Amino acid sequence: MSLFPIVARELRVASRRRSLYTGRTVFALAAIFISGLIMSFNQAAPVTMGSSLFYTLSSFAFVYCAMEGIWITSDCVGEEKREGTLGLLFLTDLSGYDVVFGKLAATSLRSICGLLAILPVLAIPLLLGSVTGKEFGRLILLLINTMLLSLSVGICISVYCTKAVKSAVSTFAMMIVLLGAGPICLFLIGMVTKNSPSPINVDTYSVHSAIYGMSMVADRAYLAEPWSYWKSLITNHVFMWIFIVTASLAVSKCWQDRPFSGAQLKRKEKLLRADRGSKRYETRLRERLLSRNPVMWLHCRSRLKKLYPWLIFALGGVYWIWGSIRFGSIFYNETANFIGTAYFSSLILKFWIGAESSQRLTDDRRNGSLELLFSTPLRVKDVLSGHWKAILDQFIGPLIFLCVLTLFFAFLLLIESRRLGGSQTTYVVIMLMAHLILLIVDSFALFWCGLWNSVRARHVNRAIGGTLFHVLIVPWILFLGFIIFIILAARGRGFALIGGEEYFMLSTWFAIGLGYSLWLITSCRSKLNNQLRLLASTRPGLEKDYKENTLNQGSESLEPTK
Amino acid sequence: MTLNEIFTMSPGTKHTPMIKADPRPDKAVKDLPAVQTSLLTRQYSDMTALNMLDLTVNRGDLFGFIGSNGAGKTTTLRILATFLKPSSGTAKVLGKDVVAEADAVRHVIGYMPDFFGVYKDMEVTEYLDFFGACYRIPSGQREKTVGDVLELVGLSEKKGALIGTLSLGMQQRIGLARVLIHDPELLLLDEPASGLDPRARIEMMAILQELQRMGKTIIISSHILSELQSLCNRVAIIERGKLIYSGSVQGVKNQMETSHIVWVKVGSDPDKAIGFLKTQSEVSEAEMVDGSIRVTMASHDADVSIIAETLVRNGVPIHGLKEEELGLEEVFMRMTKGETQ
């Protein structure tokens, strides 16, 4: 049987990777950090505190499990297809199942180890008597099942997609459908009929969702309707097998290059024209941009790419229209709507900028195109400036619109605050302003950090993940760490925080966010300027030699000084 | 139309030089070798990729760079292409230092790595137009230049095709067209024929010969030594980062030939023929090998015609007479020990 040899080989290879062990440590530390945070803030009795610790940690673990497929498996087969190595596997006696299980074994090892690292921390509430062993067991079962579902969705989509980002987005979309389609339908039906859904409806529409299963983990919910949990678990498990079987059947057929039929070619041409415009437009754009910066042209050829970010505001507009119709003028008096719109729009825009910047150079470096670019008289400065101009071309409109929108919201809230004299509104206005400044600075940080990660990472998805983590998550970790430190230090000296410290919190958050982003911009920009040329001529994975040489010989850059 | 005509003969299409500060090399610069390295060393942490390499490539040479895998060929080419900084020593391209004047060097070289990616979603003309812009060729001139280089590499008919749809051989030719787009004086080609089928290889070699006739200096690293033998006028053999030979192809053959051997095929009575040959003072040894007579001459400059003369005089019909010539592959095998790093 050839199943076990390939699984064993992949596991052996995976077990030699250092990232497996560092990842495990990082997950354990993250879980300890979150626990520390909860324990510091929560002054309740141990049983209550344990309960909140359990549910908070399990929520994080659930999101981790549900989204793991996006980073880990969504490009594992697609990458082999791109590099033309998938066919080599099928020249042997291997079948589709062997390949899919082998890939699953190799990629899931790190994910499973990450989950295992969290479990001891997750078991603390068990010791505190906050949750029962059965609750703990049900949670573990659900988390593992959700992780396997996510990984199998990723692997199935990677069989059909060749592009890494498209595959990751499709996996994300599929997971959203699997987790939330039923509850969303239920919500929409309730909204249309203006009736709250009956328990039978909830059960019918939500049983496919692991979130529903998650809500049935606690003894109280489980004992009331024990089968609901198991139905959810089994449904998800069946889904997982459907994805695995589909992937196994499809993978053995998708690796060969097949010529396009006439209709397919016509469709491709139509799509290309829709994206790039007419030949005349394309030629004029090329002439115009090539004389400005060739690299800019390389990334500005798509017209649709520039339009997509406006979808965020289109969705926001739909939300406001819906709110106006549903709630009338009360909707406009709700401060949360203003803050929510500004925050969500900027968060999605930041994600987008980070994702775009992080996929610029990874493939170019891997396939050698970046090296060719540097064999011309183009300087590192020209290449970076071309990328910057392209990103600006794509996002400047939405960014300006968002800034104006935020300022408009702030202005409306300020008028409201003057009229009612509320200090809370003033605080919100200041927060919006701080948020606006951070949006601009973070956009710069996302670009520079994204570009740096894209040249360093082996896979586009990892580059994107790394960028988003560095720019959007790390400042929060630093902020929370700092707050914990302050609280613990105050307690140690016998002081207590007595409220009214929201301005302190806001300024700390702003200072850490701003300082960190500025440091990231400076650091990544300097690294790109000094090392991009050399990295371009080094294959990913050979940086060790490069590092040693840099240490031995100082700067490796052959960039002209003038 | 040849590239010479494209770039120099036709006034309407005359190519504007890229280096504004140094538009045309003066006589002193023209006399300089195309490439000169002196004690060139590249050290990695635990190995020496290049060990005090002294190499000179003259202008107009089609220079073969031969060595086993890991011998240091690609490292040398990458240093010359300004991608790598030497650990010590110097390298000059057309008189310009690859470290101190890297930018100027990039203008005068065309570098084609052994493995290079193409933007598969681009049309052939778009791709070349893009690289033309990278070399700062004025936009008015680019269209014509792109058409001309495509004609040279025989891809005029494919100018509207997406690169991703072309065969490997065609993509390699596009790579060559890219290298030529700015009319460089020196071409650095790392394994340009690797992965190509015999026809595509022959076509590629023909293009290179044409380019040499136009006065380009070409350094080509390849493992296909039989092709280099007929293509190159000079070769360098490198092993473990050390240069073990640099000079003409014939020179290396002469150096490695331990004896002068002539193969003779006679119509009848070979034993009698061997007897006649052995009586000659110019012949040191004659023996029957695989149906032919292997004649070892007494010295390298011995007159081979003595063999024919002796046999004809004694009435032995001659069916064939051929001097044994060492192939480059054999020379390479004899010169190197097969050591890699």
Contact between A421 and A454 under an 8 Å Cβ cutoff? The reply is no
CB contact under 8 A, A376 and B98: no
CB contact under 8 A, A537 and B83: yes
pLDDT, residue A329, reads 78
- pLDDT greater than 80 at residue A40: no
- pLDDT greater than 70 at residue A257: no
pLDDT, residue A106, reads 81
CB contact under 8 A, A537 and B131: no
Contact between B341 and B240 under an 8 Å Cβ cutoff? The reply is yes
Q: What percent of chain A has pLDDT over 70?
A: 90
Bridge partners, B187 (sequence order): B110, B218
At A312, list the tokens: 């965020």
At B151, list the tokens: 């004609």
* Strand, helix or coil for residue A74: coil
A545 to chain B, any CB pair closer than 8 A? The answer is: yes
- pLDDT greater than 80 at residue A437: yes
In the structure, how many helices (H) and strands (E) does chain B have?
13, 14
Contact between A385 and B121 under an 8 Å Cβ cutoff? The reply is no
Contact between A138 and A56 under an 8 Å Cβ cutoff? The reply is no
Domain ranges, ordered by start, for chain B: 3-249, 258-325
- Spatial distance between the Cα atoms of A448 and B222, rounded to a whole number of angstroms: 40
pLDDT, residue B10, reads 37
User: Could you say which of A297, A368, A560 has the minimum Cβ distance to residue B130?
Assistant: A297
User: Out of A262-271, A315-324, A541-550, B207-216, which region has the weakest mean confidence (pLDDT)?
Assistant: A541-550
A390 to chain B, any CB pair closer than 8 A? The answer is: no
Report CA A503 to chain centroid distance, whole Å: 30
| Mean pLDDT across A446-459 | 92
Report CA B175 to chain centroid distance, whole Å: 17
- Alpha-carbon distance A363 to nearest alpha carbon in chain B (angstroms): 9
Tell me the per-residue pLDDT of B38-82, one tens digit each, with 9 for 90 and over: 999 998 877 888 889 999 999 999 999 988 888 888 899 999 999
At A284, list the tokens: 């004029």
Asked casually if ipTM beats, i.e. exceeds, 0.85, the reply is no
Residue of B nearest to A287 (CA): B139
Tell me the per-residue pLDDT of A145-180, one tens digit each, with 9 for 90 and over: 999 999 999 999 999 888 888 899 899 999 999 988
Which chain A positions have a beta carbon within 8 Å of B139's beta carbon?
287, 290-291
Contact between A68 and A147 under an 8 Å Cβ cutoff? The reply is yes
pLDDT, residue A525, reads 95
CB contact under 8 A, B45 and A545: yes
| Mean pLDDT across A479-488 | 83
- pLDDT greater than 50 at residue B7: no
Q: Give 3-state DSSP helix, strand, coil % of chain A, rounded to 5.
A: 85, 0, 15
Tell me the pLDDT of chain B averaged across its residues.
Answer: 82
Highest CATH level, class, for B258-325: alpha beta
Reported confidence tier of residue A445, pLDDT bands at 50, 70, 90: very high
CATH placement of domain B3-249: 3.40.50.300
DSSP string, B76-91: HHHHHTTSS--SEEEE
Contact between A155 and A244 under an 8 Å Cβ cutoff? The reply is yes
Tell me the per-residue pLDDT of B164-173, one tens digit each, with 9 for 90 and over: 888 888 888 8
- Spatial distance between the Cα atoms of A13 and B61, rounded to a whole number of angstroms: 48
Report CA A215 to chain centroid distance, whole Å: 24
CB contact under 8 A, B126 and A286: yes
pLDDT, residue B340, reads 53
Apex B333 CA angle, B328 and B334, nearest 5: 100
pLDDT, residue A460, reads 86
- Spatial distance between the Cα atoms of B253 and B328, rounded to a whole number of angstroms: 7
User: Out of A90-99, B49-58, B286-295, which region has the weakest mean confidence (pLDDT)?
Assistant: A90-99
| Mean pLDDT across A508-514 | 94
pLDDT, residue B341, reads 53
Residue of A nearest to B113 (CA): A372
User: Out of A310-314, A419-423, A453-457, B55-59, which region has the weakest mean confidence (pLDDT)?
Assistant: A419-423
Please enumerate in sequence order all residues whose Cβ is within 8 A of that of A335, keeping only pairs 6 or more positions apart, or say none: A413, A425, A428
- Spatial distance between the Cα atoms of B246 and B40, rounded to a whole number of angstroms: 15
Domain ranges, ordered by start, for chain A: 3-256, 285-469+512-553
| Mean pLDDT across A482-488 | 82
Contact between B84 and B256 under an 8 Å Cβ cutoff? The reply is no
Positive or negative torsion for Cα A44, A45, A50, A55: negative
Reported confidence tier of residue A190, pLDDT bands at 50, 70, 90: confident
